Amino acid sequence: MDLRSRSPAPALDPPAPLNPQTRGPWTPGLRRTERGLNRSYRGTFRSPRPSPKSGQADGTGEESLHLDIQKLREKKDMLDEEISQLISEGYRVDELEDHIAQLHEYNDIKDVGQMLLGKLAVIRGVTTKELYPEFGLDMND
């Protein structure tokens, strides 16, 4: 077979247009939109952080800070009361910390088990749901 008689492979980029675009060269993987569709994105940049309000220089910012401090103190008092109630019911902080650590370990082990079930399901060409009965697992586990 003569390779010279074959047509050349299609180019990755389309052929250049007869009347060139004013927006620059075509870039693979970059989607361009028609002019006017994204006007909302062409406005001035707005930071996600709130800008200082105009009245804050004359003391309203300080009032706001005092209000925030008061709310935090109230929340602290509420949490202290909750802690006192739990202690009076017989809970101990070190016991709760140990319980939380055990829950983290359990979740890590469960994640590994789910990952292994998923890999086994792929190898066997079945769903993980189909493997649950084989290993004596409940769907709610």
Residues contacting residue 129 through CB under 8 Å, at least 6 positions apart: 139
Q: What is the domain partition of the chain in residue ranges?
A: 63-135
Say how far apart CA 98 and CA 29 lie, in whole Å.
Answer: 51
In this structure, what is the dihedral angle of CA atoms 61, 66, 72, 76, given to the nearest 10 degrees?
170
SS (H, E, C) 54-69: HHHHHCHHHHHHHHHH
pLDDT in tens, 81-138: 998 998 899 888 888 889 999 999 999 999 999 999 999 999 999 999 999 999 998 8
pLDDT in tens, 14-49: 555 565 555 555 555 555 555 554 555 556 777 777
